[in-house]
């Protein structure tokens, strides 16, 4: 068995490092000769931990099948000192694989007692923003502009390891070690990707609202309301996403949310249509107490779809009735609108609730 240790100075001015990579957290990544723990071998486990402003990388390498239990014992001993495990697809692969190996060797393990942060799961929830061809670690590193010296994939290194076991060379060992080392170190470099998740979870403040007039592709004049948001944590690269009447841009320390304004007439539907009469000539509904003064020939009992009054104004769309009163184009429309008023513009909490609703709605769409 081989054991390697390396020390790197950390930049603690990085807010995500201080928030996520605490001294109670352990990064780790494993290298195996296949997917099934019953028929393959874990031959390398790499870990990264923080002590003050220092990053310590430990790697445990099995030079033969007989070393597998030894590297597991070293890893478990180190893991027991930490509360949080940070991985890339560890919940999907690494942890089930290691648990199966521990069962095989009858090694006590405490995986169930740990907290987990799986970077792959978080990044997968950002697909609508990032729009990457795939969400492997190397693809995300490329997106973030991270340069790797390692040129092999984990699958390609299986043959390198099998050849090493038969005829070990320093050349083979270098590539096996380097790949795992960069995977572990790369997880630390991936932390800026969490800034997008932090934003979507409400990590911003609304700093400005402005209206804008533009012309669409057909030359028609359109109106929009633009919310300027200050990101709590700066995002590493510009991303954007459009959904229906909403357009979001995240760029560095600032995000912009543009909402297309509806300029025209909408309907406000009364709740209890049985208490109303519909007046066809005026195309509105009025309460039955007032309708008693209207001739029977000019009124009829309202239905759910005719129990409304009409209003012409500028309106903001919403996917749920967050702001009331709300207006619709038709009775059963899921998309509703509310009037753009000075009262709305002067209400920071209502604005915050509305912006949170729109961003959450965008993030929950299936893509």
Annotated domain spans of the chain: 2-197, 262-339
Q: Say if CB 221 and CB 213 are below 8 A apart.
A: yes
Q: Say if CB 359 and CB 200 are below 8 A apart.
A: yes
At 30, the pLDDT band (50, 70, 90 cuts) reads: very high
Q: How far is CA 356 from CA 109, 114, 162, 296, 309, in A?
A: 41, 31, 52, 48, 29
The shares of helix, strand and coil residues in the chain, as percent rounded to the nearest 5, are 35, 35, 30
Predicted confidence (pLDDT) per residue in 322-346, tens digit: 999 999 999 989 999 999 999 999 9
Q: Which residues, 6+ apart, have CB-to-CB distance to 135 below 8 Å?
A: 120, 123, 124, 127
Predicted confidence (pLDDT) per residue in 159-193, tens digit: 999 999 999 999 899 989 999 998 898 888 899 99
Query: Residue 358 phi/psi, 5° resolution?
Result: -65, -45
Res. 150: pLDDT tops 70? no
Find out whether the peptide bond into 249 is cis, omega within 30 degrees of 0.
no
Predicted confidence (pLDDT) per residue in 260-308, tens digit: 999 999 999 999 999 999 999 999 999 999 988 898 899 999 999 999 9
At 152, the pLDDT band (50, 70, 90 cuts) reads: low
Res. 94: pLDDT tops 80? yes
* DSSP summary character for residue 67: G
Res. 139: pLDDT tops 70? yes
The pTM (predicted TM-score) of the whole model is 0.87
Q: Say if CB 285 and CB 307 are below 8 A apart.
A: yes
Q: Is 344 helix (H, G, I), strand (E, B) or coil?
A: helix
Which DSSP string do the residues of 72-121 spell out, in sequence order? HHHHHHHHTT-SEEEESSIIIIIHHHHHHHHHHHT----GGGSEEEEHHH
Res. 74: pLDDT tops 90? yes
Four-residue CA torsion sign, 326, 330, 334, 340 = negative
Nearest to 111 by CA among 136, 65, 76, 153: 76
Q: Say if CB 175 and CB 157 are below 8 A apart.
A: yes
Nearest to 336 by CA among 262, 284, 247, 226: 262
- pLDDT, residue 247, reads 97
At 45, the pLDDT band (50, 70, 90 cuts) reads: very high
Q: Say if CB 285 and CB 277 are below 8 A apart.
A: yes
Res. 16: pLDDT tops 90? no
Express as a percent the part of the chain with pLDDT over 70: 98
At 367, the pLDDT band (50, 70, 90 cuts) reads: low
Six-digit token string for 157 = 């290194």
Res. 151: pLDDT tops 70? no
- pLDDT, residue 164, reads 92
Express as a percent the part of the chain with pLDDT over 90: 81
Four-residue CA torsion sign, 81, 85, 88, 92 = positive
Res. 366: pLDDT tops 80? no
**What's the whole-number average pLDDT of the chain?**
93
Angle (CA) 366 339 203, round 5°: 45
Choosing among 3.30.420.10, 3.20.20.70, 3.40.1080.10, 3.65.10.10, the CATH entry for 2-197 is 3.30.420.10
């Amino acid at each position: 068995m081989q054991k390697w240790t390396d020390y790197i100075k950390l930049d603690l001015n990085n807010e995500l490092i201080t928030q996520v990579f605490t001294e109670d957290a352990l990064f780790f990544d494993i290298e195996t000769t296949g997917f099934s723990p019953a028929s393959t071998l874990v031959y390398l486990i790499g870990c990264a931990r923080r002590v003050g402003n220092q990053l310590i990388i430990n790697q445990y390498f099995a030079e033969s099948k007989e070393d597998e239990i030894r590297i597991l014992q070293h890893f478990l001993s180190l893991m027991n000192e930490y509360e949080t495990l940070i991985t890339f697809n560890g919940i999907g692969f690494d942890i089930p694989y290691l648990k199966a190996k521990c069962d095989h060797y009858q090694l006590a393990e405490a995986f169930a007692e740990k907290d987990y942060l799986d970077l792959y799961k978080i990044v997968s929830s950002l697909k609508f923003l990032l729009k990457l061809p795939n969400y492997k670690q190397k693809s995300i590193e490329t997106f973030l502009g991270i340069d790797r010296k390692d040129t092999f994939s984990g699958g390609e290194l299986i043959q390198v390891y099998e050849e090493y076991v038969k005829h070990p060379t320093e050349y083979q060992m270098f590539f096996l070690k380097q790949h795992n080392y960069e995977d572990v170190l790369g997880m630390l470099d991936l932390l800026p990707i969490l800034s997008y998740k932090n934003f979507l979870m409400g990590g911003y403040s609304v700093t400005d609202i402005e209206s804008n007039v533009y012309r669409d592709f057909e030359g028609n004049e359109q109106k929009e309301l633009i919310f300027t948001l200050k990101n709590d944590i700066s995002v590493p690269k510009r991303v954007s996403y459009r959904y229906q009447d909403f357009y979001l841009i995240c760029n560095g320390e600032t995000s912009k949310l543009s909402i297309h304004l509806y300029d025209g007439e909408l309907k406000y539907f009364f709740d209890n249509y049985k208490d109303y009469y519909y007046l066809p000539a005026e195309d509105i509904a009025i309460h039955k107490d007032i309708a008693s003064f209207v001739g029977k020939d000019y009124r009829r009992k309202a239905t759910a779809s005719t129990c409304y009054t009409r209003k012409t104004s500028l309106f903001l769309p919403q996917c749920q009735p967050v702001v009331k009163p709300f207006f619709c184009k038709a009775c059963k429309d899921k998309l509703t609108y509310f009037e753009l008023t000075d009262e709305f513009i002067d209400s920071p909490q209502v604005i915050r609730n509305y912006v949170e609703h729109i961003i959450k709605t965008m993030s929950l769409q299936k893509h």
